[in-house]
Structure formats: C-alpha cells, structure tokens
Structure 1
Amino acid sequence: MDGNERTDGTEGPVADITWLGTPEGHRAIAEAGALPDTEAPGAVARLRARYGGHAAAALTQVALRRAARVKFGADAERWLYTRAGLEQATRPAVAAHRAATYAAAGARTVLDLGCGIGTDARAFLDAGLDVVAVELDPVTAAVAAANLAPAVAAGRARVVTGDATALLDGLWSPGVSVFADPARRTGAGRTWNPADFTPPWDWAVGLLDRAAATGGVGCLKLGPGLPYRLIPEGVAAEWVSHRGDLVEVALWAGAGAGLPAAGTRTATLLDDAGAVHRLVATDTTVPGREPAVGTVLWEPDPAVIRAGAVDTLAALLGAGRVAEEIAYLVGDPAEPADAGAPPAGAGAPPADAGVEPTAFATAFRILEVLPAREKVLRAWVRERRVGRLEIKKRGVDTDPAALRRRLRPSGPYAATLVLTPTPDGARALVVERAERTSPPPSRS
C-alpha cells in the first residue's frame, strides 16, 4: 500500500469522489480512458505519479463508464458511478417517462428517497422539477452530489446524506411529491418478503398515502415481479417495458393529469422513438382459439402479461387465448390487399395478408401446426434443412436449449418453433415474424 491509499472507512472514498468531480478529476478520468491498457503497470504507474492515490478511483470510473454504455449509451461519459449504483440505476428513457408523469400531474418538488447515483433526480430536473435527493450510503451520496452539481449550484437540487426514515418529517411540506425505490435484497439475494425491504415496506407504502393526502404525487419503484398481494388497494400499478424488456412496476398515488387512475393496472411500453403506449387492464374474458395454418399468433409484451391485460389485448385484436392461462393469442390476419389472390404456398396465407399492428405484442404467422413430439420435430428439422432454429415456449415443460441440441439442426435455413398447450394437447407451431412474407423453404 502506498502512502496515498487510505484505510479510514468511507472518508477516503468520499474524498476520491469529490475530487473526481473537479476539473483535475475530469482530466484524470480522461487520461485514464485514453490508456490503451488500463492494467499495464507502466501506464498505471505514470497515472499514479501524476494523481497519487486518486489514480485508482479514476481507473475505476473508466471501467464503470465502459460498462454503463449498455444502459446509458453516449451519456455514460456524463456520470460518476458506484458498481451497485450502476446496476440499480434506472434506464434514462424510463426515468424520463416517470419524471414527465410527475410534471404532467402538477408536481413541483420531488423528494427522491434513496436516490442512488442520481439518475432519477437528473430526470426530474430535466423535466423542470426541483429535487431533494436523500441517500443513506455516504459514498453513493457523494456520487449523486457530483452528478447533480450544476443543479445544486443553481439552487434547484439538494443532496442529503442520511436515513430517509429519520429525515422525512424535516424535509416534508404540503404539496411536496415523493419517489422511493425500496431495496429488496438480503445476503441471500432478492426477496419479496416485506419484512426484508429497506426502508420498511409499511413505511414506503405510507409515503403514497401521505403524498396524496397533502396535495402531492407519490411513486414507489419496484421490481416487475412484485406479487399482486403486496399492491395496496386504491393504488395504481404501472408495469413499464422498454424496448421489449420489462424493467419495473411503479405504484402511484395522487391526483393530476397523466397519472394512472387509482386501482388500475396499466402496461406501459416505451419504444426507441420515444413514444409511450399504454394499455389498461379490464375484466374482459375472451374465448379460446385453436391455432391453425394461416392464422396469427400474438406474443404479448411482458408488461401486458404482468399487468393482467392479456384478455384486454385479445379483445382489441379480436383474438383468443391458445389455451387457458397461456399468454399466446390466436387471431385472423387482416384482409389482404387483393382478397382474391391465390395462396402463396400450400396452406400458407396470401403473401400480402396483413397483420393488425400493435405495440403491445409481437405477431407471427402460423405456417404449420405439428404434434409436439420430439421424433416428429427432428424429422421436420431434417427435411426442411433448418440450421438456425429458434424455440419459444409457454406452459410446456421443455428446456428449449436442450431440445434444440437434440433436434440437431443443420442446413442453410432458419425457422422458429413455438411450443404451447392447446385444447387438443401440446403443439409445435411453425411460425414466422409478421414482417416476413414467405415460409421456410421445403426441400421440394
């Protein structure tokens, strides 16, 4: 250990983070990022000679920024990170959507309790809101302060280090809004036992009631697998999907334009173009529908499934479930441009048969319906010379990866199989995504 390294708990790391937020710290990170090999002893030694014990912190930030590009893209270079903070940070598009919801509902100041590295706080600021960010961990709080420094200097943000449960009464005022992301981890991993949440679950839920009662907006961010039994009555639940990934459920309380209605379950989809698509679950029940050649198979977005809106979507599409409790839908294709055109192939729909577009599900054309027996599927794969085989499944006790190996795909063609129960037993559906118009070639 050289003389610049520290052994005094958080004081050294906090000082490192504070220093990284200075112009000299920015230069150190830039120099570290320009190194062809951040582990080369000579290059690291030169960095240490220039910046002392802070060099290690600069090198760590370079590694974290590279990892952050997956989540933050080009904006990754704007931020300082901790490893846990990066993992837990909200995706920018999701944070922006939430902030826009607060702003539309009339919020002005948000208490961000458990602010992490400040990504949600930054989104609130970008939406025109003021922020009081509270973080228990001193190192993470220092990162948030560095990331929010311009807003802090402008008087629009404060970063407070401490326990939100102890600080809340001193920070609260009528009309204030609140946002919290309770930690759901123990030493054994993720948990859905409310007794293990930090801050306590009852306290976190109480934030929603308190905000709504005093003229503000309350929101809790939670993992998308939140059991329904934990959703309080009268609270709106919004499952959010970004680019097809289900990332969270938000529980909302309060009044104002743009807020999900109390007691509702909503699937919200955010796409690459920045559009927001919402589907509110209803008590609709749809009949079953047998999959058949020429029909369309719909695979709902995960947010639709978790929100319990599959039957709502089915009713909108004029479709039915392939089997009870199975989240595949079967419906008719849209009318082709020329209803009298001959079929494109044996049993296949016309080449210009359309699919009703929706953001809430992926559409597949059903080309063949096969028994879900391994011997049958192996023969089909061999006869069609399928070398690239995608296997999807619901409600069938099969490991797709293991089945793919046993089917021994080999050949120049690609295909997709969907394994699903039906009223007549398990079936393997040969499908193609709706943007394509021709079935996998046969050997004939």
Structure 2
Amino acid sequence: MSSNSSDVPSSQLALLLTSAGWELLNSVDPSSAGTNEAAFQLNLSLRKAGHPAELATAVVQQSQLRFKARTKFGPFADSMVFTQAGLEQATRLNIAGLHAQRYTRAGIKKVADLGCGIGADSLALASAEIDVTAVELDETTAAATTLNLMPWTNARVVNADATSFDLTGFDGVWLDPARRTTDTSGTSRIFDPEAFSPPLSFVENLADRGLAVGVKMGPGLPHDAIPANCEVQWVSVNGDVTEAALWFGKLARPGIRRAALVISEHGATEITSSLDFDPDAALRGDVPVGPISEYLYEPDGAVIRAGLIDELLKITGGHLLDPHIAYFGTDAFVQTPLAKAYKVVEVRPYHVKNLRAWVKAEKIGVLDIKKRGMDVTPEELRKVLLAGSGKSSKKKATLVLTRIGDQRVAIQVEPVA
C-alpha cells in the first residue's frame, strides 16, 4: 500500500525500535490488549511498573494492532510492526502467497513492490525466493516494513516515491495503491481509480512498457475502469470480497478475462470467463429467467462482482428469478461453493403487517433477513417484525426479500448446510 502519511508518529515507532522498547513490546501478549478496557488496564500496569508514559502508550497501541492483525497474518502478526492504515489495506498473508505464485509461475525473478505499505506482499514474494525491492514513500511506514522484512536477505526497503522509482533491471512490478485517506477522524475510502496513489493510469503505463504488472484494487472497482489488456480476478475469503486484482503481461492467464476466486475453510474454487463483462445479457434473454423453485441461491460476492452469474447458471442448471437481481433457483439441490443454498419454505407478498403477524404466530425470536433489489434496511425491519413476538423464543427463521418484476416478495427459506 502506498502511503502519503502514517497514522503512527515516527517518534512513537522510534521508541519501540530502541532495545528497551522492542524488548517490552515483545514481552506483551497482544491478547492482553484485545479490547479497549484490556488495553486501558495494560497501559496502567506498564506505567505502574515504571515504564515512561510515552513508551507504555506506544507498546499498547502496537499490541492492539498486532492483535487485530492476527486475522490477516496469523502468528506472524505477533512479531511484526503495523500502522492502522497499513493494516486496514494490507493483503491477507494467504492471498499475498497467491499473488507471489503468479510471479513464480511466470518466471519473474526481480520484483519492485511499489507502495509496499507494511510489506505483506513483499514478505510473500521474498518467501517465494523472488528478489524484491519494497518502495514506500512514508518514512515511518518504510521503517516498519524494514523491520517486517528483516528475516529475508533477498528483500530490501527503499524510502522513495513509487512513481519516480527507477525500474531498470526489474522484470516484474506489484502495486497496492492507497485507496484511503487519513485524517483526525480516522481513515476513509477513495473510490475513483485515478485518485488512488498511484493512480490506475500509472499502472497501465508500466504495463505498456512491457513489464509483468500486478495490482490490487478494491472489490468495488467499476467495470468500465478496467483496462482492456488485463485479466481481472475478484477474490473472496469466507464470504468477504477482499480485492479485484489486475494482471498484465506474463502474469495474465491466456484466455481468461474475468475470474472469481472463492476461498473458504473447505478450500478454493474459481470460475472464469474469456469474455468482457456484459451487464445486459439477462435483459436480452441470453441468461435463463424463471419462477421461484424448490431451492434459492445467493451467489458469492466475488461471482457477482465479476459478472459471472451466467457462468454459474450453466454449472448449476439454475435460472434467475429476475433479470436484474443475482438470486437464482433450481428445482433440485445443487452443491456449489460458489453460492449459498436455501430450501424454499413459503413465498409471501412483502407486507410488513402480515409478516409481523406471521412472526408472532410462529413465536419466532431469531430472524435473519437478506435482501436484494429492495429499499429495506434489514436491521430496522428485524426490530419491527420482532417487536412483541416474545424475545425469549429461540426459534429461528430466515427471510429473503427481493423483487420479481414489479412484485416485492418475502421468501421464507432454510439454509442448506
């Protein structure tokens, strides 16, 4: 991730990088700062033990970041240094490993990680025995990355502007442009690819020079912003769409324009297409549309973002319920890791009063609401429907709210394990 400014003061990091600071930081279990209350108590205990207030605060804040980072880096997090913005955008370690595999398979030997952030992808590239130079503009972040990459002799960090770094001798480039801004109220997302740092046009220029280029973009990347000469792969991890990676040159797989990679605890499944995104295929009748069937499916977010519903329907033999909406149905159950399956129990018109009466009559106390194509806030509707239904009840139900043509419906379903 390219950084314009760090959210961790350089003075604070300097304290942690002293021998006393580093020893104290590594003596603290990040779990002891896992909640705000725990972090407050840890700060007090460190100060009572005689440690300076500034050092205690630095250790506590870094321990909090290490604890949060465990979801992305596992046990490696406990020996790394983070910034808040860097951690938020950092690639999960298993996904960074997949990125590195692209370069290995393409025979790329020397990679520049332009705007490396805290170094997650550089770490993976170095682990794959690729010579990697991590370039980071922000001095504090570059210092943190230097520490994170210390175990690898084939990795180095350069504190420089990614857009002016000399790429002579490099055959590959990786970029994770900054897509957030940081201010006193925290961090916020940027959605315009030309407002990223560096912008998407800079990435395209690198690819035009003949370099093997990979770039991590946000999953909400507009389809019309995707360059014509690349492969784009959306990735989801346990239902969370984490990125849209663009691959140019040797890193792009022949015959693949769009891909969705779905990763869960059960493994990884990918679906691909050689064609450009076609948002009007269903409206033209190129994609099957039919009535509500015995089973209803909600495609994984990566499949939806990649516009690969039509390919998924070919695999499952399913049909859309409405040409504008991603839900689809089948008459017989089809097992697929690319969509969540539900058994249809009953279909009702969407009327809040009638749904509330149904919840009360059935003594439902736990209600899961999913929706597509309707201007409804599930959390607010849930409160309305459960009001007066007997909150002690543990009976569960699931509603899928959607629109079929001009009709709004509430479909009672049961999740299929």
Name the CA distance, whole Å, in 1 between partners of 2:95 and 2:367.
33
2:366 is paired with a residue whose SS is strand
Amino acid at match of 2:413: V
Residues 262, 182 of structure 1: CA spacing in aligned structure 2 closer, same or farther, 3 A cutoff?
A: farther
The corresponding residue for 1:271 is 264
- In structure 2, stretches of 5+ residues that fail to align are 1-7, 33-37
Name the CA distance, whole Å, in 2 between partners of 1:365 and 1:383.
21
Residues 273-299 of structure 1 deviation map (CA, whole Å, 9 limit, x = unaligned)? 4x331111356732212114xx11010
Residues 8-30 of structure 1 deviation map (CA, whole Å, 9 limit, x = unaligned)? x97634533543xx5x5442113
Name the CA distance, whole Å, in 2 between partners of 1:128 and 1:87.
26
Residues 235-278 of structure 1 deviation map (CA, whole Å, 9 limit, x = unaligned)? 1111010111001100101226xx434661110112224x3311
Deviation at 1:193, TM superposition (A): 2.8
Work out whether residues 16 and 25 of structure 2, in 8 Å CA contact, stay in contact via their aligned partners in 1. Answer: no
Residue among 42, 45, 51 paired with 1:48: 51
Deviation at 1:375, TM superposition (A): 2.3
Deviation at 1:142, TM superposition (A): 0.4
**Correspondences of 1:39-438 after superposition (within 5 Å):** 39-40=43-44, 43-48=46-51, 54-151=55-152, 154=153, 156-167=154-165, 169=166, 171-173=167-169, 176-186=171-181, 189-210=188-209, 213-214=210-211, 217-255=212-250, 259-261=252-254, 264-273=257-266, 275-281=267-273, 285-292=286-293, 295-333=294-332, 355-408=333-386, 409-410=389-390, 411-423=393-405, 425-435=407-417
Deviation at 1:423, TM superposition (A): 3.9
Residues 176-212 of structure 1 deviation map (CA, whole Å, 9 limit, x = unaligned)? 11111111334693233344221233212222333xx
Name the CA distance, whole Å, in 2 between partners of 1:390 and 1:10.
43
Name the CA distance, whole Å, in 1 between partners of 2:256 and 2:29.
49
Deviation at 1:424, TM superposition (A): 6.6
Work out whether residues 182 and 204 of structure 1, in 8 Å CA contact, stay in contact via their aligned partners in 2. Answer: no
1:312 is paired with a residue whose SS is helix
Work out whether residues 46 and 56 of structure 2, in 8 Å CA contact, stay in contact via their aligned partners in 1. Answer: no
Say which is worse superposed, 237-246 or 106-115, in terms of deviation.
106-115
Work out whether residues 47 and 55 of structure 1, in 8 Å CA contact, stay in contact via their aligned partners in 2. Answer: no
Work out whether residues 240 and 269 of structure 1, in 8 Å CA contact, stay in contact via their aligned partners in 2. Answer: yes
Residues 332, 128 of structure 1: CA spacing in aligned structure 2 closer, same or farther, 3 A cutoff?
A: farther
Name the CA distance, whole Å, in 2 between partners of 1:110 and 1:45.
47
Say which is worse superposed, 55-64 or 401-410, in terms of deviation.
55-64
Aligned residues: 385
Name the CA distance, whole Å, in 2 between partners of 1:28 and 1:59.
10
Say which is worse superposed, 377-386 or 131-140, in terms of deviation.
377-386
Name the CA distance, whole Å, in 2 between partners of 1:47 and 1:29.
15
Residues 373-399 of structure 1 deviation map (CA, whole Å, 9 limit, x = unaligned)? 112212221222111011111001212
Name the CA distance, whole Å, in 1 between partners of 2:11 and 2:194.
33
1:38 is paired with a residue whose SS is helix
- In structure 1, stretches of 5+ residues that fail to align are 1-8, 334-354, 436-444
The corresponding residue for 1:342 is none
Task: Give me the TM-score of the superposition, normalised by structure 2.
Answer: 0.85
The corresponding residue for 1:339 is none
Amino acid at match of 1:113: L
Name the CA distance, whole Å, in 1 between partners of 2:180 and 2:28.
33
Name the CA distance, whole Å, in 1 between partners of 2:10 and 2:323.
58
Residues 17, 159 of structure 1: CA spacing in aligned structure 2 closer, same or farther, 3 A cutoff?
A: farther
Task: Give me the TM-score of the superposition, normalised by structure 1.
Answer: 0.80
Work out whether residues 290 and 322 of structure 1, in 8 Å CA contact, stay in contact via their aligned partners in 2. Answer: yes
Residues 92-123 of structure 1 deviation map (CA, whole Å, 9 limit, x = unaligned)? 12111211222222222221111111111111
2:169 is paired with a residue whose SS is coil
- Tell me the percent identity: 39
Residues 365, 61 of structure 1: CA spacing in aligned structure 2 closer, same or farther, 3 A cutoff?
A: same
1:386 is paired with a residue whose SS is coil
Amino acid at match of 2:384: R
